[in-house]
């Protein structure tokens, strides 16, 4: 009864789930659902996830979608997952829920809006939309400010003043990494003001390598393909 | 060490938390933070919640914001909360997380957007924005369709095939209730096609009354004032201070 993960590594929440599995030794079968080829819109995939989005998992007869719900399910169900990923302590756990919820309405819409209206627009047969990109940049900056000033403690490497990463670190960092698609110059421009955020991204990367780099290869490859 | 709940009952997620507490006999002190008077933007309130939104709780020295996180915390920490609200079973619990997450990016963006750009716009000194309202309607309809075809599938009276309500039912239904502000005709137009949704709202209401109706009184009063501007205490020309006191839009 191997875990099945329906995935396209181009998707930020997919990467978070796969990195989590890899770091925690959770065995899984990765089933590619190609977003650019609209495979998520097929009737077959709708049987897996009627919302037609990635990631989704199937574990035996149990189906689940929404990456935060998936990360919590995996942390709760597989032995050997260290406590810091999703602590049993109700106070720490609640704070993780708080930042994951905040993420939906704040950070999540930033990188995706930027990227889908610029470099990925042709891939998804959308027009370039510089106004939407500017909106996305505003959303991203506002979210990064909040992470810098509130969610990240001055002296601790991870969110919520923790010394070890949680599923919240993985989810948010994978989202921000999507901005790599727009190139180093824009990445430096957008992330430049936020020193703690940059350090935190590096901390999360180090804590989950080599899997983090392996999973983010797809962004480098796609960027090179699109620029040539 | 009584639980403190920072609240404005015009806010949908605030109502969900209050109803949950009342239904489960959780003792709390309700501290009014008047959004129409911008009390959520004060430095004092920023100490409670730097995101300046409602609801927020303080339990002893523990502070928490985001209504879903609050509901999960309360269900997990207070004795006597029946299991169906947030089941211990990891499969059922995961499905609740799934619908609560889906809610953020889908239903949540419907009612608030419609209401802020129509009935509440003049009161808040915003321009009417029928385009934005139409966007909100699209979100709402798409979400209600998904609730009927996915989340209410099966023979249960509640989401996810349950015969008892969970925190997900409370959260989503309180959001849809915001449509009451639009008046009967508009509300019926928007909800009309969705018979199962209407039944589910009624089921959730029945399962949590008298608290559901009591907590929604403020919303209903605001609806009366909006629909009947010549009622006592209502505005004279264009957005009187009395309406401003009662109404708000969740920021």
Residues within 8 A of B (CB atoms), A 24-53 only: 50-51
Residues 6+ apart with CB under 8 A from A157: A163, A199, A200, A203
Per-residue pLDDT tens over the stretch A19-73: 999 999 999 999 999 999 999 999 999 999 999 999 999 999 999 999 999 999 9
Determine which of A66-70, A199-203, B36-40 has the lowest per-residue pLDDT on average: B36-40
pLDDT at site B162: 94
Interaxial angle between packed helices B67-77 and A90-105, expressed in degrees from 0 to 180 and rounded to the nearest 10: 160
Instruction: Specify the length of chain A in residues.
Output: 228
Per-residue pLDDT tens over the stretch A209-220: 999 999 999 999
Cis omega before residue B46 (within 30°)?
A: no
How much is the mean pLDDT over chain B?
A: 91
Name the residue among B116, B128, B3, B155 with its Cα closest to residue B70.
Answer: B3
CA distance A114 to A102: 19
Q: Which of A94, A105, A113 to mutate to test the interface with B (most CBs of B within 10 A)?
A: A94
CA distance B159 to B212: 18
For chain B, percent of residues with pLDDT exceeding 70: 91
Please judge whether B98 and A64 are an interchain contact, meaning their C-beta atoms are less than 8 angstroms apart: yes
Cis omega before residue A55 (within 30°)?
A: yes
- Which residues in chain B have their CB less than 8 angstroms from residue A88's CB? none
Q: Which helix (DSSP H) or strand (DSSP E) does residue B4 occupy?
A: strand B3-7
Q: Using DSSP, how many helices (H) and how many strands (E) does chain A show?
A: 10, 4
Please judge whether B76 and A90 are an interchain contact, meaning their C-beta atoms are less than 8 angstroms apart: yes
pLDDT at site B230: 66
Residue A159 contacts residue A86 (beta carbons within 8 Å): no
**Which pLDDT band, with edges at 50, 70 and 90, does B185 fall under?**
very high
Residues 6+ apart with CB under 8 A from B172: B99, B103, B107, B147, B159
* B239 secondary structure, DSSP code: S
**Which pLDDT band, with edges at 50, 70 and 90, does B239 fall under?**
very low
* A49 secondary structure, DSSP code: -
Measured between CA atoms, the residue of chain A closest to residue B55 is A98
pTM: 0.94
Measured between CA atoms, the residue of chain A closest to residue B77 is A90
Measured between CA atoms, the residue of chain B closest to residue A105 is B104
Domains and CATH numbers, chain B: 3-82 (3.40.30.10), 84-227 (1.20.1050.10)
Residue A16 contacts residue A178 (beta carbons within 8 Å): no
**Which pLDDT band, with edges at 50, 70 and 90, does B243 fall under?**
very low
**Which pLDDT band, with edges at 50, 70 and 90, does B231 fall under?**
low
Nearest beta carbon to residue B94 from set A72, A98, A105: A72
- pLDDT(B19) > 70: yes
Per-residue pLDDT tens over the stretch B192-223: 999 999 999 999 999 999 999 999 999 999 99
- Span A158-180, mean pLDDT? 97
pLDDT at site B237: 43
Per-residue pLDDT tens over the stretch A41-56: 999 999 999 999 999 9
Secondary structure (3-state) at B163? coil
Per-residue pLDDT tens over the stretch B115-145: 999 998 887 778 999 999 999 999 999 999 9
Q: Which residues of B touch A (CB under 8 A)?
A: 50-51, 62, 64-70, 72-73, 76-77, 90-91, 93-95, 97-98, 101-102, 104-105, 108, 146, 149-150
- Which residues in chain A have their CB less than 8 angstroms from residue B98's CB? 64-66, 69
CA distance B236 to B240: 6
Q: Does A194 touch chain B (CB under 8 A)?
A: no
Segment A59-67 long-range contacts (CB within 8 Å, at least 24 positions apart):
A59/A1, A59/A3, A59/A4, A60/A1, A62/B91, A62/B94, A64/B94, A64/B95, A64/B98, A65/B98, A66/B97, A66/B98, A66/B101, A66/B102, A67/A13, A67/A14, A67/A16, A67/A17, A67/A171, A67/B101
Angle value at C-alpha B184, between B178 and B190, nearest 5 degrees: 65
Residue B172 contacts residue B7 (beta carbons within 8 Å): no
Q: Which of A49, A66, A77, A145 to mutate to test the interface with B (most CBs of B within 10 A)?
A: A66
- Which residues in chain A have their CB less than 8 angstroms from residue B139's CB? none
- Which residues in chain A have their CB less than 8 angstroms from residue B72's CB? 94, 97
């Amino acid at each position: 009864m191997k875990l099945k993960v329906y995935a396209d590594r181009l998707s930020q929440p997919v990467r978070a789930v796969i990195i989590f599995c890899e770091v925690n030794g959770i065995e899984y079968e990765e089933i590619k659902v190609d977003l650019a080829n609209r495979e998520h819109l097929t009737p077959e995939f709708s049987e897996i996830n009627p919302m037609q989005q990635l990631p989704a998992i199937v574990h035996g007869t149990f189906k689940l979608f929404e990456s935060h719900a998936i990360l919590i399910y995996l942390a709760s169900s597989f032995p050997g997952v260290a406590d810091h990923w999703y602590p049993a302590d109700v106070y720490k756990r609640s704070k993780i829920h708080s930042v994951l919820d905040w993420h939906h309405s704040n950070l999540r819409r930033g990188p995706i809006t930027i990227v889908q209206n610029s470099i990925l627009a042709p891939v998804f047969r959308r027009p370039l939309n510089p106004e939407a990109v500017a909106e996305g940049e505003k959303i991203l900056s506002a979210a990064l400010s909040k992470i810098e000033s509130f969610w990240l403690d001055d002296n601790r490497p991870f969110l919520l003043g923790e010394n070890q990463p949680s599923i919240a670190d993985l989810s948010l960092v994978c989202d921000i990494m999507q901005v790599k698609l727009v190139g180093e110059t824009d990445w430096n421009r957008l992330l430049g003001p936020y020193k703690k955020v940059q350090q935190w991204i590096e901390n999360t990367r180090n804590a989950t390598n080599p899997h983090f780099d392996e999973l983010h290869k797809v962004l480098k490859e796609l960027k090179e393909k699109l620029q040539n | 060490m009584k639980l403190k709940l920072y609240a404005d009952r015009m806010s949908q997620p605030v109502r969900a938390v209050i109803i949950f507490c009342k239904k489960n006999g959780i003792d709390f002190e309700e501290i009014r933070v008047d959004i129409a008077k911008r009390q959520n933007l004060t430095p004092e309130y920023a100490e409670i919640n730097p995101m300046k939104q409602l609801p927020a709780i303080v339990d002893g020295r523990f502070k928490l914001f985001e209504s879903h996180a609050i509901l999960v915390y309360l269900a997990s920490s207070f004795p006597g909360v029946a299991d169906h609200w947030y089941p211990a079973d990891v499969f059922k619990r995961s499905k609740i997380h799934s619908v609560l997450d889906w809610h953020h990016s889908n239903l949540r963006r419907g009612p608030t957007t419609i209401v802020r750009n129509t009935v509440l716009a003049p009161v808040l000194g915003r321009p009417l924005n029928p385009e934005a309202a139409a966007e909100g309607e699209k979100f709402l309809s798409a979400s209600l369709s998904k609730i009927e075809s996915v989340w209410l599938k099966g023979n249960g009276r509640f989401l996810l095939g349950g015969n008892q309500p969970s925190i997900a039912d409370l959260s989503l239904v309180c959001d849809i209730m915001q449509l009451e502000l639009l008046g009967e005709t508009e509300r019926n137009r928007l909800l009309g096609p969705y018979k199962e949704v209407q039944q589910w709202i009624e089921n959730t209401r029945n399962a949590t009354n008298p608290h559901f109706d009591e907590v929604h009184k403020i919303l209903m009063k605001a609806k009366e004032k909006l629909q009947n501007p010549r009622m006592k205490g209502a505005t004279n020309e264009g957005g009187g201070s009395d309406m401003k006191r009662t109404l708000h839009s969740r920021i």
